């Protein structure tokens, strides 16, 4: 997980480049929008009193928690259930369709072959042999390497689809998380029409 930002560990790039970079871990935390406004990405920082200690949260679990909360809040506030997950350069990485937000997933970790494919998710190996999680169920389409260009174009022109902008690296992290979730499902449940099925933990 990216380290918590502070005045001592954040720096602004030169004026031509408005990215806010963490000096310690070199991760992009946000962007300067104006001389008085800085936008931080919700998946890159935790805001908490420095007087309190807090547990270390595995990166993949933190990303899932933040994004699921955001999707649920947006779907409730704006009555939208389709999202374009895009990088700060407006490149679309994932098309995501929220199906429901009240799923309960019981996950067995006895078979770790999928985790070995994605080192980012190794923290799950430390969990118990089985765990129950509240989760949201989503349909998704990967859009990297020019995949699903026609569908991306259709969703970009649809005003009912809400864009969700994240750092490009986080978009790829989310795609890995979705891919692992899909791979852990029984083969008969991995697809719905042309979309892939996945669960994101809350």
**Res. 133: pLDDT tops 90:** no
**Residue ranges covered by each domain of the chain:** 1-48, 59-201
Rounded distance between C-alpha atoms, residue 173 and residue 87, angstroms: 12
Where does residue 173 rank: exposed (0-12), middle (13-18), buried (19+ CB within 10 A)? buried
Q: Which residue has the higher pLDDT, 23 or 60?
A: 60
**Average pLDDT over every residue of 189-200:** 95
pLDDT at 196: 97
pLDDT at 194: 92
Compute the mean pLDDT over every residue in the chain, rounded to the nearest whole number: 78
Summarised one tens digit per residue, pLDDT across range 50-95 is: 666 767 778 788 889 889 988 999 888 888 899 999 998 889 999 9
94-130 b/e with 16+ CB inside 10 Å = b?
bbbbbeebebebebeeeeeeebeebebbebbeeeeee
**Res. 25: pLDDT tops 50:** yes
Where does residue 160 rank: exposed (0-12), middle (13-18), buried (19+ CB within 10 A)? exposed
pLDDT at 142: 96
pTM of the predicted protein model: 0.72
Phi-psi region of 66 (alpha: psi -120 to 50; beta: other; left: phi over 0): alpha
Residue 148 tokens, joined: 């699903």
**Res. 172: pLDDT tops 90:** yes
Contact criterion met (CB below 8 Å) for 101 and 75: yes
> Which residue intervals of 37-167 are DSSP H helices?
59-78, 113-117, 149-156
Which strand (E) or helix (H) includes residue 181? helix 168-184
pLDDT at 15: 47
Q: 3-class SS at 88?
A: coil
Using 50, 70 and 90 to split pLDDT, how confident is the model at 145? confident
pLDDT at 30: 72
Rounded distance between C-alpha atoms, residue 65 and residue 199, angstroms: 12
**Res. 118: pLDDT tops 50:** no
Backbone φ and ψ for 67, nearest 5 degrees, come out as -70, -40
Q: Whose CA is closest to 93, among 29, 173, 23, 4? A: 173
């Amino acid at each position: 997980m990216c380290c918590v930002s502070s005045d001592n560990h954040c720096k602004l790039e030169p004026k031509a480049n408005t990215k806010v970079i963490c000096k310690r871990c070199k991760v992009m935390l946000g962007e300067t929008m104006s001389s008085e406004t800085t936008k931080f990405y919700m998946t890159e920082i935790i805001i908490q009193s420095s007087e309190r200690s807090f547990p270390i949260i595995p990166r993949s679990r933190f990303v899932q928690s933040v994004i699921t909360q955001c999707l649920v809040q947006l779907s409730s506030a704006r009555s939208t259930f389709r999202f374009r997950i895009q990088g700060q350069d407006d490149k679309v990485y994932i098309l995501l369709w929220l199906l429901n937000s009240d799923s309960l997933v019981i996950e067995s970790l006895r078979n770790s072959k999928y985790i070995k494919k994605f080192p980012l998710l190794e923290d799950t190996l430390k969990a118990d042999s089985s765990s129950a999680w509240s989760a949201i169920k989503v349909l998704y389409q990967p859009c990297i390497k020019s995949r699903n260009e026609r569908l991306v174009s259709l969703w970009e022109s649809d005003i009912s689809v809400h864009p969700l902008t994240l750092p490009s690296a986080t978009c790829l992290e989310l795609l890995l998380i979705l891919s692992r979730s899909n791979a852990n499902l029984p083969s008969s449940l991995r697809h719905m029409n042309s979309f892939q099925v996945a669960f994101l933990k809350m």
